[in-house]
């Protein structure tokens, strides 16, 4: 347990930041799942529109360094490829 006032404050701040980061990471996963669901439904136009909205979420979270930029790029690339592969 933190003994000094400074350490107690850092523990409070770290906890709040961890909660915020978990929320952002959850938002990222939800955005990816929405695109996957649209792809599985088979509607290419709907999948593209959901993908456009999700790209901004993915980029925003990567810019905040909550996930690595390469991980964000990998997800965007795979989702884009899956949409292009739709007949």
What CATH number labels 5-84? 1.20.58.110
pTM: 0.86
Q: Across the chain, what does the average pLDDT equal? A: 96
- Of 48, 19, 16, nearest to 35 (Cα)? 48
Condensed to tens digits (0 to 9), the pLDDT of residues 29-71 reads 999 999 999 999 999 999 999 999 999 999 999 999 999 999 9
Q: How far apart are CA 13 and CA 15, in angstroms?
A: 5
Q: What percent of the chain has pLDDT over 70?
A: 100
* pLDDT score of 32: 97
Condensed to tens digits (0 to 9), the pLDDT of residues 8-35 reads 999 999 999 999 999 999 999 999 999 9
- Of 52, 43, 45, nearest to 79 (Cα)? 52
């Amino acid at each position: 347990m933190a003994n000094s006032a400074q350490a107690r404050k850092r523990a409070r701040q770290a906890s709040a930041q961890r909660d915020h980061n978990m929320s952002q990471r959850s938002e990222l996963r939800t955005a990816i799942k929405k695109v996957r669901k649209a792809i599985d439904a088979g509607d290419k136009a709907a999948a593209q529109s959901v993908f456009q909205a999700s790209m901004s979420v993915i980029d925003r979270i990567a810019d905040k360094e909550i996930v690595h930029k390469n991980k964000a790029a990998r997800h965007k690339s795979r989702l884009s490829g899956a949409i292009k592969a739709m007949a």
